[in-house]
Amino acid sequence: MSKSRSFTDHQLRDELSPRGAIEQLNILRRVCHKFTPKRDKHNKDDICICERRKEEHEDYEESEDRWTMTYHTREVISSDFGTLSHGGMYVRLALDTPLEKVEKILLDAWKIHQPLFIATIVGGAKYFKMNDKLETNFINGIVDIINAWLLSSGYNIGIVQLVGHAIHKFKLTNSKKASFTAIAVCKWGCIKDVETITSQDDQETQKATTNVQNSSKNDELGERQRGQWDLEMNHSHYLMLDDGSIRNYEIGDYRTRLVTHMARLNKEHDIFGM
């Protein structure tokens, strides 16, 4: 472990529950409060650029300024964190959360071991299907990596969906615990049914989770709004970034900066992108 991590960090890691540790970190989320009308031929004047309705904002005075997270949103304490129905841990956090705080969430609150290998998995929304041999090689290539982190968008589509299938298949066919950790770095406002999935209502949560797990390349496309994606439910941890907008999956270079930050904790880390 890096010498830069202090004894206090070890105490936080060892003595507090995940919930208690996150509460101490005072994690923030973003709320759009200055209404800025989205003026185009497809929208009425009561929709903000953040995609929320006018009445969901505190400041109704129409701003003609270019919408920015810094100026049009405010920070509030995030109470959206905990455990999903399948056991995955999640937290909703502002898109500009300092990487040092995210480090504490991952290592101290969630108690994930520092990685020896970090793989970032990115790709478009194209649907993939592998033959059995290729799928087996793909699965083995992931699960044989010792103490690795896999970071992805966390949306149940394209190559990330394949990763989810690989993880699920590994759990079904292996009694040993996986030596890798799959971390989704996604956008809170882009996750379909996110309020239900993260709800404490077990019955509703299970229903939403089942819908996600049963979805295929053609399922529910009519119900899903543009800019929304199902959450891939085989990851173990979810960083749900929030800039105050919905149905806008842009997170800039946050995932890349997070990987670089975590890799610098130990110069022996390897970084690999897919």
Return the higher-pLDDT residue of 195 and 9.
195
> How many domains does the chain contain in total?
2
List pLDDT tens digits, range 19-61.
999 999 999 999 999 998 887 766 667 899 999 999 999 987 7
Q: What is the pTM of this model?
A: 0.83
Report pLDDT for 222: 42
Report pLDDT for 219: 46
Q: Does one domain contain both 180 and 145?
A: yes
Percentage, residues of the chain above pLDDT 90? 48
Report pLDDT for 182: 93
Q: Kindly tell me if the per-residue pLDDT of 211 is higher than 60.
A: no
Q: Provide the residue range defining the domain that includes 67.
A: 28-77
In a domain, 1, yes or no: no
Give the whole-angstrom CA distance, residue 164 versus residue 162.
5
Q: Does one domain contain both 152 and 49?
A: no
- The values of phi and psi at residue 76, to 5°, are -135, 155
Q: Does one domain contain both 206 and 130?
A: yes
Q: Does one domain contain both 107 and 215?
A: yes
Percentage, residues of the chain above pLDDT 70? 70
